[in-house]
Amino acid sequence: MNYKQRIVVIGAGFGGLSFCKKIDKSKFDVTIVDRNNYHSFPPLFYQVASGGLEPASISFPLRREFRGKKMKGCRFNYGGVRTIDTGAKTVITEYETIPYDILIIAAGTTNNFFGIPDLQQRVCTLKSTSQAIRTRNEVLLRLERAAIEQNPDRRRRLLTFAVIGGGPTGVEIAGALGEMKRYIIKREYPSISPEEVNVILVEGSDRLLRTMSEASSEDALRDLRKLMVEVRLNKTMKSYDAEGLITFTDGETITADTVIWTAGVTAERFDFKNFMPGACPGGRLPVDEYNRVEGTDDIYAIGDISYHADEVWQKGCPQLAQVAIQQGECVAANLNNPDKSRPFSYNDKGSMATIGRNHAVVDLNKVHYSGWFAWITWMAVHLISLLGMRNKAVVLLNWIWSYFTFSSSLRLILRQSINPSSPVKN
């Protein structure tokens, strides 16, 4: 029996699954490790946070995915990776030690709070399904409490929602909150006037959607204002205290009980032993043209965690799903046929963002369009990208129902109960 090299893949996101589907399982023994037992669809976290979709609609059980033809032969091991020992060639999770011959790091990114003290404990974030659920709970809780609050100052704080960061996620969640303000408040919270609700989007640069065209930035700004979202540009947050006071670097302040942070990301960090990877912006791992981590022969990084720079993308490829998918496919093809290895080159298929019903922006090569057709394009692309026919059908039905009724059965405050003591390590 021929020896199969052991490949360990850290992360079951777009890049990790893309790699596993393309790698030749007859040549390699493949294990994928993730701290969740499901794959999530990050572009729709904001819809979970705003009560538009249930979490299960944008998540797919990994073990079911591994039963499929393209994943057959791969194993899934549950656990969060803590240490990578390049000397012993092992990956260490909180539960086990896994040996590898080839390591694929596809762990993605987490929130970057830029060193602002205690910010992580005080703001809502949208980098995981659980964070999206927490954000939904916080938004709905503020509305319920404001509906019975008599003190005008306290009521104003409860009804002020500040979104920090004007990238695609910030624009999309601000647009969703703007739709709630315009269409939902007067129907479901009769004691609250829509004019009392303040949705404020704060961006540190001079325009929204900096990674997209200026036309997209202008269209997004116009559409957000139609949804009664206040947009403040050239504002950088300095602090957010326990009393709800947001302070900006120019001295201006805002009081808000709810702050949704989308201002930046940083690479997931690991404790490396016997090797220290180079430093790149955002904590990303520097890789060569074949996506090997610089200084190694058997460790690859793909997706948001990798820093792949070339003549076209001199500051590194954008942190988008398409980059991760293409890198995963490229690395798998090179390992399958090492004699025909080709360097990675990102094929930019465009960018898009939605601002609410009938409003989206799309940049496709040098073509820009917005409005209803862009919105339909956005929906179609995201539906196609979801795993599982059930998820596709449920999301489509939810969108159709919400479009015609302006209603959702998902605006529920669901809090985690205290777990009973258990001999099983959580």
**189: CATH:** 3.50.50.100
Query: Both 101 and 126 in a single domain?
Result: no
Say which residues have a Cβ less than 8 Å from residue 284's Cβ, sequence separation at least 6: 267, 301, 304, 305, 306, 307, 316
Total residue count of the chain as it appears in this document:
426
Residues 248-276 have a mean pLDDT of: 94
As a whole number, the mean pLDDT across the chain is 91
Query: Both 396 and 314 in a single domain?
Result: no
Q: Is 49 domain-assigned? A: no
Looking at residue 244, its amino acid is G
Query: Both 147 and 239 in a single domain?
Result: yes
Tokens standing for residue 262: 């989308």
Query: Both 174 and 219 in a single domain?
Result: yes
Domain harbouring 304, CATH code:
3.50.50.60
Give the residue with greater pLDDT, 3 vs 101.
101
pLDDT digits (tens, 9 = 90+) for 49-63: 998 888 889 999 999
Query: Both 216 and 358 in a single domain?
Result: yes
Angle subtended at Cα 42 by Cα 40 and Cα 43, rounded to the nearest 5 degrees: 135
Q: How many CB atoms lie within 10 A of CB 95?
A: 12
Q: Is 426 domain-assigned? A: no
Query: Both 215 and 254 in a single domain?
Result: yes
Q: Is 61 domain-assigned? A: no
Domain of residue 269 covers 5-35+79-111+265-336
Kindly give the residue spans of alpha helices, DSSP state H, lying in 23-123.
45-49, 62-65, 119-122
Phi, psi of 274 (to 5 degrees): 70, 10
Whether residue 308 is predicted with pLDDT greater than 90 in this model: the reply is: yes
Phi, psi of 303 (to 5 degrees): 85, -155
Q: Is 385 domain-assigned? A: yes
Whether residue 417 is predicted with pLDDT greater than 80 in this model: the reply is: no
Tokens standing for residue 390: 């059930």
Q: Is 202 domain-assigned? A: yes
Residue 409 banded pLDDT, cuts 50, 70, 90 = low
pLDDT digits (tens, 9 = 90+) for 3-17: 899 999 999 999 999
Phi, psi of 72 (to 5 degrees): -60, 135
Query: What residues pair up with 254 in beta bridges, in sequence order?
Result: 246
3-state secondary structure at position 172: helix
Q: Is 65 domain-assigned? A: no
Query: Both 232 and 280 in a single domain?
Result: no
Query: Both 359 and 300 in a single domain?
Result: no
Phi, psi of 394 (to 5 degrees): -65, -45
Q: Give whole-number Cα distances, 168 to 77, 242, 263, 340, in Å.
A: 32, 28, 10, 37
Q: Is 71 domain-assigned? A: no
Residue 113 banded pLDDT, cuts 50, 70, 90 = very high
Relative orientation angle of helices 214-226 and 168-179, to the nearest 10 degrees: 20
Query: Both 145 and 244 in a single domain?
Result: yes
CA 99 to chain CA centroid, Å, is 29
Q: Is 60 domain-assigned? A: no
Q: How many helical (H) and strand (E) elements, i.e. helices and strands, does the chain have? A: 12, 26
Sign of CA dihedral 118, 267, 46, 203: positive
Query: Both 141 and 200 in a single domain?
Result: yes
pLDDT at 154: 95
Number of folded domains in the chain? 2
Query: Both 284 and 391 in a single domain?
Result: no
pLDDT at 144: 95
CA-CA distance, 386 to 166, in Å (whole number)?
25
Q: Average the pLDDT over each of 188-202, 224-238, 411-425 and give the range with the smallest value.
A: 411-425
pLDDT at 419: 55
CA-CA distance, 397 to 420, in Å (whole number)?
37
Domain boundary among 305, 336, 367: 336
CA-CA distance, 113 to 119, in Å (whole number)?
7
CA-CA distance, 409 to 76, in Å (whole number)?
34
120: left (phi over 0), alpha (psi -120 to 50) or beta: alpha
Domain boundary among 314, 336, 358: 336
Tokens standing for residue 226: 């139609």
pLDDT at 399: 85
CA-CA distance, 306 to 42, in Å (whole number)?
18
pLDDT at 389: 85
Q: Average the pLDDT over each of 42-51, 209-218, 388-397, 408-417 and give the range with the smallest value.
A: 408-417
pLDDT digits (tens, 9 = 90+) for 2-52: 789 999 999 999 999 999 999 999 999 999 999 999 999 999 999 999 988
HEC letters along 156-212: HHHCEEEEECCCHHHHHHHHHHHHHHHHHHHHHCCCCCHHHCEEEEECCCCCCCCCC
Say which residues have a Cβ less than 8 Å from residue 293's Cβ, sequence separation at least 6: 105, 277, 285, 286, 287, 299, 300, 301
Express as a percent the part of the chain with pLDDT over 70. 96
Query: Both 291 and 394 in a single domain?
Result: no
